[in-house]
Chains A and B, each alone.
Chain A
Amino acid sequence: MTTARALLAAASLAAGLALPLAASAAEGQPHPPREKWSFSGVFGTFDRAQLQRGFKVYREVCQSCHQLKIPFRTLSQPGGPQFSQAQINALAAEYKVQDGPNDAGDMFERPARAADNIPWTFANENQAASANGGKAPPSLQLMAKARSYERGFPLFIVDALPFFQYQEHGADYIHALLTGYKDPPAGFTVPPGGHYNEYFPGHIIAMPKPIATDGQVEYPKGPDGKSPVPETVEQYSRDIAAFLMWTAEPNLEARKRTGFMVIIFLAVFAYLMYYVKKKVWAKVGGEAEGLPGTAPLGPTH
């Protein structure tokens, strides 16, 4: 029935058109380029080696300012970087955390354990703000979901569709931001304490270029004594973006795997119910053709 189809189309259009995508980026900003990620798509999974490299970048570059509020133990959990338990214990022991009060009522310091959150360089937000020009650097664990950019009509509708789905705005933005430090265009004055970035909304970002040069972070070597991936700003940015996607969505792999099974189950269920329904309606001549009914209706109406 054409009106029915039109009504459905209009309703889905209504739903689709009205969907706002996060408008972090101001008008007239260039869009972050869309990168290829192992975790995109229906069967997407994280690349363990990439997550481990990304964590290394976090420790050596970001950690001096940014908090990452996740427990050490999650770094060994399935679906993540999957460091071994021994690695995690050793890693945690490198950090000191405050604990207490003890039996004597005193606070004390002890080595961190796997169950502790990764400690922050700063004691609190105020200290972080005062050390960073008045504004505390944001914590990073949710960054890949807390940043986005507007795709505009009609792309934002396409982003929700099977086979075209796009949920990696945040990772693309992080990657673009870290590689987006450029000289300001002629006539653009950057105020003191600011830095020009092509992808930051308004272009002036307080954070100085975090990864300054290629080779800044040393990656684990392969059997040939060379790192399997290039040690470049571009690769560092990609790895930290992937790692932050994992910290933001640590259950991504389980979610996609479960979803596949759920949808297959529902599809089979729907297929069966469709034929059950057809069989039931055949008793009254089917829905469309509808021969005079032999339906066992009571005398109530």
Chain B
Amino acid sequence: MSDHASTYVPKSAFAKWFESRLPIAGLVHSSFVAFPVPRNLTYFWTFGAILIFMLGAQILTGIWLAMHYVPEATKAFDSVEHIMRDVNYGWLLRYLHANGASMFFIAVYIHMFRGLYYGSYKAPREVLWILGVIIFLLMMATAFMGYVLPWGQMSFWGATVITNLFSAIPIVGDVIVSLLWGGYSVGNPTLNRFFALHYLLPFMIAGVVVLHVWALHVTGQNNPTGVPIKSAKDAVPFTPYATIKDVFATICFLIFFAWFIFYVPNYLGHADNYIPANPAVTPAHIVPEWYFLPFYAILRAVPDKLGGVIAMGAAVVILAFLPWLDTSRVRSANYRPLYRQFFWVFVIVCVLLGWLGSKPPEGGYVIASRVCTIWYFVHFLVILPVLGLFETPRPLPSSILETVLRGKKGGAGMPAGAAAAPSTKG
């Protein structure tokens, strides 16, 4: 599907001259114009474009903020207030950037759960999926370090708690922590290196995004049926069909984003971060940003410090092994009656973990966190491997076109005649 430049015909003399020296126009053409897209994609498939838009928006607003921000422990907080009060549209830049991080995570979580539901991680998309997990890890690091920069109370204490976790690692733990801090406590060197890394990592994300998109365009997109494109009639060209749909979805997402920026800009933040960092005063509850809460709950669910750190790390890393943990050959949960139920249980468990992460670690909250943490890992390590062996999938449609012709998109639970082979390998 990716023999690049095969359909691109340069029109002008200059384009011909250039294309024979650097066929980048042909590359763009085959990736974003002629690229065949399954015609039954729902709006859940627009979040990739939304995420690329958000990455670009974060980098742009971030560069502008960096022109006014001062990464120095005694000046950082005031420089953020300077941006909010004195820089032209500084308040807009900062609210765009701070809420943009949350929007980025909302979009990425929808994107990931979409992948989980429709089995987008299965062969031949394993590498595509793993690149996604790497992007997610880089995003988490970037967001964490970005939250430290305003140098408020929650910035400081969040940095203290999270960097301290590395001290649980045997032998090298203390060295790693000193390296992160640039000293023997969270202080000015920490802030400086976090700023440097916060500026660097988004460009690394952009690099991995290029690989992610490249891998996508080699394997082609999954779709709600999980059945691959078999004939020209199953697909439409990326431009204009997917392009216009992505543009429309991105604008709708921007309306949602704009609501937060302009009307509830501090809703997703924490009031304590408007208090300047003070190493002598610990906030009543130290809570990370909302998008880390499920992982924070897993961390605290384990009574042992090292165990908690391992569990939290494993909760993310386990995603990379998903293509091999899920033994079912059917991709889409639309045709997997049991997996579909377990998927929704898993979603609820993740939401509960998020809520528990915002609660103090005491009493019933701890017990609930432990139950949810165990279920989180059981889902990946027991349910997914076993389910594939015992579940009887519903018959798959013979082609994407067939489900489209049958009317409703996706063809959830619709018997599809003769094409009953559970294998979806195209």
Binding site for B on A (CB under 8 A): 1-4, 6-8, 10-11, 13-15, 17-24, 26, 42, 70, 74, 138, 141-142, 145-148, 153, 159-160, 162, 165, 167, 169-170, 201, 248, 250-251, 254-256, 258-260, 262-263, 266-267, 269-270, 273-274, 276-277, 280-281, 284, 287-293, 295-301
Rounded to whole Å, the gap between the CB of B2 and the closest CB of chain A is 8
How many angstroms between the C-alpha atoms of A262 and B81 in the bound complex? 24
How many angstroms between the C-alpha atoms of A293 and B44 in the bound complex? 22
Contact, CB under 8 Å: B264 / A165: yes
The 8 tightest CB contacts between A and B, nearest first, are A259-B262, A18-B354, A22-B271, A290-B404, A146-B274, A148-B271, A20-B358, A298-B7
**CB-defined contacts of A255 to chain B, threshold 8 Å:** 91-92, 95, 262, 265
How many angstroms between the C-alpha atoms of A11 and B112 in the bound complex? 11
Contact, CB under 8 Å: B410 / A1: yes
How many angstroms between the C-alpha atoms of A259 and B220 in the bound complex? 39
**CB-defined contacts of A169 to chain B, threshold 8 Å:** 271
Contact, CB under 8 Å: B229 / A24: no
Contact, CB under 8 Å: B237 / A273: no
**CB-defined contacts of A301 to chain B, threshold 8 Å:** 1, 36, 220, 229, 232, 235
Contact, CB under 8 Å: B236 / A17: no
How many angstroms between the C-alpha atoms of A8 and B47 in the bound complex? 12
Contact of B91 among A3, A21, A251, A274 (CB under 8 A): A251
Contact, CB under 8 Å: A1 / B85: no
How many angstroms between the C-alpha atoms of A47 and B407 in the bound complex? 57
**CB-defined contacts of B274 to chain A, threshold 8 Å:** 142, 145-146, 248
How many angstroms between the C-alpha atoms of A260 and B274 in the bound complex? 26
Given contacts A24-B272, A248-B274, A293-B232, contact A284 B287 (CB under 8 A): no
Q: Which partner residue on chain A sits nearest B29 by CB separation?
A: A298
Contact, CB under 8 Å: B412 / A1: yes
**CB-defined contacts of B240 to chain A, threshold 8 Å:** 280
B199 lies within 8 A of chain A by Cβ? no
Query: Which of B15-59 touch A at CB < 8 Å?
Result: 30, 34, 36, 39-40, 42-44
Contact of A15 among B84, B106, B232, B264 (CB under 8 A): B106
Given contacts A4-B44, A280-B241, contact A142 B262 (CB under 8 A): no
Contact, CB under 8 Å: B34 / A300: yes
Given contacts A270-B248, A293-B39, A297-B36, contact A17 B355 (CB under 8 A): yes
Contact, CB under 8 Å: B263 / A165: yes
**CB-defined contacts of B146 to chain A, threshold 8 Å:** none
B305 lies within 8 A of chain A by Cβ? no
**CB-defined contacts of B290 to chain A, threshold 8 Å:** 15, 18-20
How many angstroms between the C-alpha atoms of A270 and B244 in the bound complex? 11
| Interface SS, B side | helix
**CB-defined contacts of B268 to chain A, threshold 8 Å:** 19
Given contacts A273-B251, A298-B237, contact A146 B412 (CB under 8 A): no
Contact of B258 among A165, A259, A281 (CB under 8 A): A259
Please, what's the 1-or-0 string for B225-266, where 1 marks a CB less than 8 Å from any CB in chain A?
A: 000010011011100110011011001101100111111111
Contact of B44 among A7, A15, A26, A296 (CB under 8 A): A7
B136 lies within 8 A of chain A by Cβ? no
B270 lies within 8 A of chain A by Cβ? yes
Rounded to whole Å, the gap between the CB of A79 and the closest CB of chain B is 11
**CB-defined contacts of A23 to chain B, threshold 8 Å:** 284-285, 287
Contact, CB under 8 Å: A288 / B236: no
Q: Which partner residue on chain A sits nearest B265 by CB separation?
A: A255
Contact of B355 among A74, A153, A277 (CB under 8 A): A153
B329 lies within 8 A of chain A by Cβ? no
Contact, CB under 8 Å: B263 / A259: yes
Contact of B254 among A22, A142, A266 (CB under 8 A): A266
B212 lies within 8 A of chain A by Cβ? no
**CB-defined contacts of B251 to chain A, threshold 8 Å:** 266, 269-270, 273
Contact, CB under 8 Å: B92 / A297: no
Contact, CB under 8 Å: B355 / A262: no
B375 lies within 8 A of chain A by Cβ? no
**Can you list 12 A-B pairs with a CB-CB distance of less than 8 A?**
A1-B42, A11-B113, A15-B109, A18-B293, A18-B294, A22-B272, A148-B271, A248-B274, A251-B85, A258-B92, A298-B34, A300-B7
Rounded to whole Å, the gap between the CB of A159 and the closest CB of chain B is 7
Contact, CB under 8 Å: A251 / B248: no
How many angstroms between the C-alpha atoms of A15 and B348 in the bound complex? 12
B351 lies within 8 A of chain A by Cβ? yes
**CB-defined contacts of A259 to chain B, threshold 8 Å:** 258-259, 261-263
Contact, CB under 8 Å: B262 / A14: no
Contact, CB under 8 Å: A167 / B266: yes
How many angstroms between the C-alpha atoms of A170 and B275 in the bound complex? 13
B376 lies within 8 A of chain A by Cβ? no
How many angstroms between the C-alpha atoms of A23 and B360 in the bound complex? 10
**CB-defined contacts of B233 to chain A, threshold 8 Å:** 292-293
Rounded to whole Å, the gap between the CB of A8 and the closest CB of chain B is 8
Contact, CB under 8 Å: B262 / A292: no
Query: Which of B183-240 touch A at CB < 8 Å?
Result: 220, 229, 232-233, 235-237, 240
How many angstroms between the C-alpha atoms of A287 and B40 in the bound complex? 7
Contact, CB under 8 Å: B109 / A11: yes
Rounded to whole Å, the gap between the CB of B402 and the closest CB of chain A is 10
Query: Which of B313-366 touch A at CB < 8 Å?
Result: 333-334, 340, 344, 347-348, 350-352, 354-355, 357-358
Contact, CB under 8 Å: B232 / A159: no
Contact, CB under 8 Å: B91 / A160: no
**CB-defined contacts of A270 to chain B, threshold 8 Å:** 248, 251-252, 255
B179 lies within 8 A of chain A by Cβ? no
**CB-defined contacts of B405 to chain A, threshold 8 Å:** 290-292
**CB-defined contacts of B161 to chain A, threshold 8 Å:** none
B114 lies within 8 A of chain A by Cβ? yes
Contact, CB under 8 Å: B263 / A256: yes
Contact, CB under 8 Å: A4 / B266: no
**CB-defined contacts of A280 to chain B, threshold 8 Å:** 240-241, 244
B381 lies within 8 A of chain A by Cβ? no
Given contacts A142-B274, A262-B258, A300-B30, contact A14 B263 (CB under 8 A): no
How many angstroms between the C-alpha atoms of A274 and B249 in the bound complex? 9
10 additional contacts (CB under 8 A) given A10-B347, A11-B113, A297-B235: A7-B110, A17-B355, A26-B284, A162-B263, A263-B255, A276-B248, A277-B245, A284-B241, A295-B241, A300-B7
